[in-house]
Chains A and B, each alone.
Chain A
Amino acid sequence: AQKITQTQPGMFVQEKEAVTLDCTYDTSDQSYGLFWYKQPSSGEMIFLIYQGSYDEQNATEGRYSLNFQKARKSANLVISASQLGDSAMYFCAMKTSYDKVIFGPGTSLSVIP
């Protein structure tokens, strides 16, 4: 079965510090994609970063990087230099075959001044 697991329901981080949000996935597909989305309290879903299963390098987008460990089936999101505006829900997602995308349960991140 294809599944996304996010084991941290809630996380706290001090402003300006780095934080890692965990994500593990389960799939038998060889070709797949992994995503992270941010959902602030306003409710919108904002795309952050993408990693393809065949990508050699870890994806980076500004302060966001994805720590992709294929053998362990993990795709952790690293946010460097946390800002107060990073406080939000973060969802890990996986694109499976036939373009279907499934989401994990999310991690609530709170950045403390």
Chain B
Amino acid sequence: DARVTQTPRHKVTEMGQEVTMRCQPILGHNTVFWYRQTMMQGLELLAYFRNRAPLDDSGMPKDRFSAEMPDATLATLKIQPSEPRDSAVYFCASGLVLGQKNIQYFGAGTRLSVL
């Protein structure tokens, strides 16, 4: 049963600390997405990759956030330095583009609390 794996599931940290979230996409998928979900903003797209190349990170605060895919089995989202307003659930999703079809399969999310 293939699934997207995200670690850690929960993270509590202090303001100013670096946070790294990891995602293992489903083997064979060629797109990876990072989303942030909050009550106020809903689901926001932060970044996405196709064939490991970043295609759009316009939704990401550039001064503190960075997203990378060092290889096909790992995507990372880093926040440095973290701030209380970054507290949210961060989802990674992967998908396989087939024509106009790109169903995204989500990981369980990382619940981040910045104190």
A→B interface (CB under 8 Å): 31-33, 35, 37, 43-47, 50, 52-54, 91, 95, 98-106
- Of chain A, the residue at the smallest CB distance from B33 is A101
B→A interface (CB under 8 Å): 31, 33, 35, 42-43, 45, 48, 50, 55-56, 89, 91, 93, 95, 97, 99-106, 108-109, 111
**What would be 27 A-B contacts, judged by CB atoms less than 8 Å apart?**
A32-B100, A33-B101, A33-B102, A35-B103, A43-B89, A43-B108, A44-B106, A44-B109, A45-B106, A45-B109, A47-B104, A47-B105, A47-B106, A50-B101, A95-B101, A95-B102, A98-B55, A98-B56, A99-B55, A100-B48, A100-B56, A101-B33, A101-B102, A103-B35, A103-B42, A103-B43, A106-B43
Knowing that A43-B109, A101-B33 are A-B contacts, what are 6 other residue pairs whose CB atoms are under 8 Å apart, sorted by A's residue number? A35-B104, A43-B111, A98-B50, A99-B31, A100-B56, A102-B45
Question: Which residues of the partner chain B approach A35 to less than 8 Å between Cβ atoms?
Answer: 103-104
Question: Which residues of the partner chain B approach A50 to less than 8 Å between Cβ atoms?
Answer: 101, 103
Interchain nearest-CB distance for B57 vs A (Å): 11
Question: Which residues of the partner chain A approach B42 to less than 8 Å between Cβ atoms?
Answer: 103-106
- Which one, A44, A52, A100, contacts B101 given CB within 8 A? A52
Report how far A105 CA is from B41 CA in the complex, Å.
8
Question: Which residues of the partner chain B approach A37 to less than 8 Å between Cβ atoms?
Answer: 106
Question: Which residues of the partner chain B approach A52 to less than 8 Å between Cβ atoms?
Answer: 99-101
